[in-house]
């Protein structure tokens, strides 16, 4: 048999789907390098194939580790707009008896607007997938998303899989995940009140892991002994001794805490981690226990006691792992231990004694320098490489870390950690600009503020403090002075001392906070900011509140006249006095010729656009007095001196952007994510919208796109703000 790594290199993705529409142009797609940035919720090593591992994320899809290239390969970029809900991965499972088989339980949310989940099954390590739709929803970005694994393959009979759902009990497949049926005999605790939790809304947590006792069976037949854990404080561990037909509560188990992970230790015992809440938002108590089926004994092996020195210093235990070749070697992660910090505890005597690892650790931030400002948290999973005991991986809310020399710790030496996230750029971009001077791209991101991207393929400069925002939600540059940037940001934890708007005169290398925010500026939701062509005036708004204008970066504010609160605004790139407004709620258009002090309704307009449409205005970078905007089912609009024109061929425009003209032309490249001639995809036009070429393909859909923009200097290059796969950029192939 060929090694898996060679086999993967030989596999080819199926060709582009047969659809109607314009001609296609081949593009190469890459991530703008950030390095991490989002919550990696789980890691799975294949027990039989060295170097084969997978990672799942809460909103950014699944990845396979390429041991040769030492980077993560995205596996779910083929999911398109209609399947964006499947980019949150609830659980991941490998088949211990067949390294080629991989299964993903996909589905991001369980609220009423979300679609049902699906099982994505692969027989080529994730190069291609088949899909089995489920009759219920999954919650890859909900409470308990770091628990697991909910999906498991029988190690003795790869045809058999179990899936623990959040609100619909236990499910079973006997044909490699193609068809599923509910296990009616599973106890009702899984769907009861105690298996729910309160976050931003009440959520079902349900069954959080399924674990097989492989030693109880033999190859070729279903494993008799199976365990399943329910996130309940009422005793959530259940066992079946007849391959899942009937279930009983395990006697003597701890109560008062919720189980979240369970692993076998090689000698026939099982280790479980517990928390009082499912995480990641809260976890204030927890424990680690050993269950010995042979004797029926439960033994607490919690690595560290709760602290009573600091108020509110309670914490739980995120995960536990055991070395494959030595059941005495165990690691466990604290969870939500904010003081002094979260840590990994390591035992080499089966849990009788433990040592904290980070006290003797060195973290290398070279790959992603911005991580020096973060500290490990949300450590919901930890894994010891079954083929290399020196390699231990743990997840965080911003990526994952890997040790190079974990066994050195046992000899009293320091452990070296690397931020092993190459290729795993799981961020949510909120705004992008490509100014004609300075860095080719400047980004506003969720949770990690924003970046100036001087080199698209290397992690570059995170916005310098001060200020530091949780999210940079809006960016703009001055058309006649493009090194002058403005940004507006959100704080997860409001701080009256931090002004939520800032400006830069050097293209985003350094920033200065505005003097103050306007009065009555406490509006909830997205902040928006725009700057005039000469940089002399900015307009700022907190959604739901009025627009405000300033000529001295926040020293004095005046309320803008004539604009509804739901309108978005933009400045002409060449005329400092000229501003534009668009109200998606009514479809009305507005103009200002006094620098944004006041607006008047234009004679043109479109029908109201419902559904939280972004409504972004795109002033032309090549021509004064011209602006474009995507208008959903009203298509792509061009608005100028001749009035409002709907560009032909675009039936539905979800997002649009402008880029550099092709050589010899002064017409900006138009990019649109929408429906053109009946086919939904990504398109480019170089002649003002008369003709379009399709630039995405069957492998590259990237789920839901929040926005896009072209590069202002490189013709054909386009940047995509995804819903969780970071910033993607595409360039035409030669």
Task: List CB contacts of 249: < 8 A, sequence separation 6 or more.
Answer: 187, 235, 237, 238, 239
d(CA 663, CA 570): 27
Contact 679, 695 (CB under 8 A): no
For residues 356, 357, 362, 364, the Cα torsion angle rounded to the nearest 10 degrees is -120
Of all helices (H) and strands (E), which one includes residue 100?
A: strand 98-106
Find where tokens 């009256």 sit: 496
DSSP one-letter code for 9: H
Please give the span between the terminal C-alpha atoms of the chain, in angstroms, as a whole number: 37
Polymer length in residues for the chain: 734
Contact 315, 293 (CB under 8 A): no
d(CA 44, CA 128): 19
Residue of 58, 83, 686, 711 marked catalytic: 58
Question: Is 58 marked active-site?
Answer: yes
Q: How many CA atoms lie within 13 A of 375 on its CB side?
A: 12
Of all helices (H) and strands (E), which one includes residue 530?
A: strand 527-531
Residue of 124, 174, 328, 447 marked catalytic: 447
Please work out, in degrees rounded to the nearest 5, the angle formed at the alpha carbon of residue 29 by the alpha carbons of 24 and 30.
175
- Burial pattern 247-278, b for ≥16 Cβ within 10 A else e, equals beebeebbeebbbbbbbbbeeebbbbbbbbbb
Cα diameter, the chain: 85
Task: List CB contacts of 394: < 8 A, sequence separation 6 or more.
Answer: 319, 333, 344, 376, 379, 381, 382, 383, 400, 401
Pairing of strands 650-659, 669-676: antiparallel
Find where tokens 């030492």 sit: 70
Question: Is 455 marked active-site?
Answer: no
Of all helices (H) and strands (E), which one includes residue 5?
A: helix 4-10
Let me know if 308 is exposed, middle or buried by CB neighbors in 10 A (0-12, 13-18, 19+).
Answer: exposed
For residues 680, 686, 691, 693, the Cα torsion angle rounded to the nearest 10 degrees is -40
SS3 content of the chain, % helix, strand, coil (to 5): 5, 40, 55
Contact 178, 133 (CB under 8 A): no
Task: List CB contacts of 241: < 8 A, sequence separation 6 or more.
Answer: 216, 224, 225
For residues 657, 660, 661, 667, the Cα torsion angle rounded to the nearest 10 degrees is 50
Closest CA to 379 of 335, 426, 421: 335
The token pair that represents 86 in the structure block: 């499947």
Please work out, in degrees rounded to the nearest 5, the angle formed at the alpha carbon of residue 274 by the alpha carbons of 135 and 212.
55
CA distances from 713 to 140, 621, 716 (A): 38, 11, 9
693, β-bridge pairs: 684
d(CA 93, CA 624): 55
Closest CA to 17 of 683, 733, 699, 652: 699
* Residues known to be catalytic: 58, 447
């Amino acid at each position: 048999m060929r090694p898996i790594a060679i086999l993967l290199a030989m596999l080819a993705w199926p060709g582009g789907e047969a659809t109607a529409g314009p001609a296609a142009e081949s593009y190469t797609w890459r991530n703008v390098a950030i390095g991490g940035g989002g919550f990696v919720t789980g890691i799975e090593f294949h027990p039989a194939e060295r170097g084969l591992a997978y990672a799942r994320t809460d909103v950014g899809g699944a990845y396979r580790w390429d041991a040769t290239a030492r980077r993560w390969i995205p596996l779910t970029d083929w999911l398109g707009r209609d399947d964006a809900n499947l980019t949150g991965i609830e659980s991941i499972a490998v088949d211990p008896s067949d390294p080629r088989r991989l299964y993903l339980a996909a589905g991001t949310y369980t609220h009423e607007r979300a679609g049902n989940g699906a099982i994505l099954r692969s027989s080529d390590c994730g190069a291609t997938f088949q899909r089995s739709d489920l009759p219920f929803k999954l919650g890859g970005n909900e409470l308990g998303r770091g628990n697991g694994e909910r999906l498991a393959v029988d190690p003795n009979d790869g045809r058999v899989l179990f899936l623990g759902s959040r609100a619909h009990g236990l499910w079973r497949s006997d044909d490699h995940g193609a068809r599923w049926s509910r296990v009616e005999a599973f106890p009702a605790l899984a769907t009861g009140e105690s298996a729910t939790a309160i976050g931003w809304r009440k959520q079902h947590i349900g069954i959080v892991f399924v674990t097989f006792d492989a030693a109880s069976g033999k190859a070729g037949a279903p494993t008799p002994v199976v365990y399943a854990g329910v996130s309940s404080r009422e005793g959530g561990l259940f066992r079946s001794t007849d391959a899942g037909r009937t279930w009983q509560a395990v006697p003597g188990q701890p109560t008062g805490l919720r189980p979240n992970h369970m692993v076998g230790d090689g000698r026939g015992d099982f280790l479980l981690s517990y928390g009082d809440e499912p995480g990641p938002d809260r976890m204030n108590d927890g424990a680690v226990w050993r269950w010995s089926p042979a004797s029926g004994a439960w033994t607490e092996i919690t690595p560290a006691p709760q602290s009573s020195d600091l108020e509110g210093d309670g914490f739980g235990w995120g995960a536990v792992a055991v070395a494959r070749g030595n059941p005495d070697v165990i690691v466990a992660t604290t969870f939500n231990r904010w003081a002094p910090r979260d840590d990994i505890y390591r035992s080499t005597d089966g849990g009788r004694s433990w040592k904290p690892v980070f006290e003797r650790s060195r973290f290398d931030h070279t790959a992603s320098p911005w991580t020096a400002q973060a500290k490990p948290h949300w450590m919901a999973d930890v894994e010891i490489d079954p083929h290399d005991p020196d390699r231990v991986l743990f997840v965080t809310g911003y990526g994952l870390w890997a040790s190079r020399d974990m066994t050195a710790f046992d000899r009293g030496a320091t452990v070296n950690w690397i931020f092993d996230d190459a290729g795993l750029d799981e961020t949510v971009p909120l705004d992008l600009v490509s100014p004609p001077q300075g860095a080719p791209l400047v980004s506003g991101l969720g949770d990690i503020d924003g970046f100036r991207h001087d080199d698209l393929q290397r992690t570059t400069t995170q916005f310098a403090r001060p200020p530091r925002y949780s999210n940079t939600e809006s960016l703009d540059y001055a058309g006649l002075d493009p090194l002058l940037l403005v940004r507006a940001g959100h704080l997860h934890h409001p701080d009256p001392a931090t002004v939520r708007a800032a400006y830069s005169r050097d293209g985003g290398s350094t920033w200065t906070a505005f003097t103050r925010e306007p009065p009555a500026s406490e509006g909830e939701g997205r902040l928006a900011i725009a700057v005039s062509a000469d940089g002399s005036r900015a307009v700022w708004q907190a959604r739901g509140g009025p627009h405000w204008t300033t000529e001295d970066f926040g020293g004095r504010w005046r309320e803008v006249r004539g604009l509804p609160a739901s309108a978005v605004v933009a400045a002409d790139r060449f005329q400092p006095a000229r501003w534009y407004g668009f109200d998606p709620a009514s479809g009305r258009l507005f103009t200002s010729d006094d620098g944004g002090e006041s607006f008047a309704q234009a004679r043109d307009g479109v029908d109201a656009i419902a559904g939280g449409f972004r409504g972004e205005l795109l002033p032309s970078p090549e021509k004064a007095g011209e602006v474009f905007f995507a208008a959903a089912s009203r298509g792509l609009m061009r608005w100028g001196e001749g009035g409002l024109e709907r560009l032909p061929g675009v039936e539905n425009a979800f997002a649009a952007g402008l880029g550099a003209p092709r050589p010899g032309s002064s017409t900006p490249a138009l990019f649109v994510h929408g429906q053109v001639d009946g086919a939904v995809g990504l398109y480019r036009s170089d002649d003002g919208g008369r003709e379009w070429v399709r630039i995405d393909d069957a492998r590259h859909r990237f789920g839901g796109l929040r926005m896009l923009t072209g590069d202002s200097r490189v013709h054909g290059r386009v940047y995509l703000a995804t819903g969780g796969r970071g910033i993607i950029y595409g360039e035409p192939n030669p």
